[in-house]
Amino acid sequence: MNKKHIALLQEMIAYYRGDAKRIQHLLKVYDFASLIGRLENLPEDQLLLLETAAIVHDIGIKRSEEKYGSAAGKYQEMEGPAISREMLTRLGYATPVIERVSYLIAHHHTYENIQEIDYQILVEADFLVNAYEDALSAKGIQAFAEKIFRTKSGQCLLQTIYNY
């Protein structure tokens, strides 16, 4: 783990202070995204970008709940990019990384037209965690898997974890 990720994880844990569920969620999504990215042999620069996005993917939840009284994905996608830009800029991330991470945050609950591998892996990692946290049925998991999962590593993890 690089120093920027350590600082970013510390920032996000402080950002979610007192909200153990959200802290646990971001750490799990980060771990799954990192694992899938490594299993899929992403180049190091792309892996670092994916991991950055995984850490901050839900950063818009707090503002969404404050503004709209909801943590719905569409609100997270609207509110998250601006907050992440400020945090990533303050921590010294390069502009191209900030822009790509902002794009991923703005689309991580949009499941159509996923074409880039970082986007695909982020969606898969988030689902691996959400399926458990939301106690999805086996039928729901299978339907999502057939419709969305594309990486061999993500498919294997999903099948192994949820035994379907």
Q: What is the pLDDT of residues 43-63, one digit of tens each?
A: 999 999 999 999 999 999 999
Helix/strand/coil (H, E, C) string of the chain? CCHHHHHHHHHHHHHCCCCHHHHHHHHHHHHHHHHHHHHCCCCHHHHHHHHHHHHHCCCCHHHHHHHHCCCCHHHHHHHHHHHHHHHHHHCCCCHHHHHHHHHHHCCCCCCCCCCCHHHHHHHHHHHHHHHHHCCCCHHHHHHHHHHHCCCHHHHHHHHHHHCC
Residues of the chain with confidence (pLDDT) below 50:
none
Output the pLDDT for position 54: 98
Which residue type sits at 61?
I
Output the pLDDT for position 164: 74
Output the pLDDT for position 131: 96
Which residue type sits at 95?
T
CATH topology for 3-162 is Hypothetical protein af1432 (1.10.3210)
The domain limits of the chain are 3-162
CA distance 3 to 52: 12
pLDDT one-digit tens code per residue, 72-99: 889 899 999 999 999 999 999 999 999 9
Q: What mean pLDDT, rounded, does the chain reach?
A: 96
Output the pLDDT for position 30: 98
CA distance 153 to 151: 5
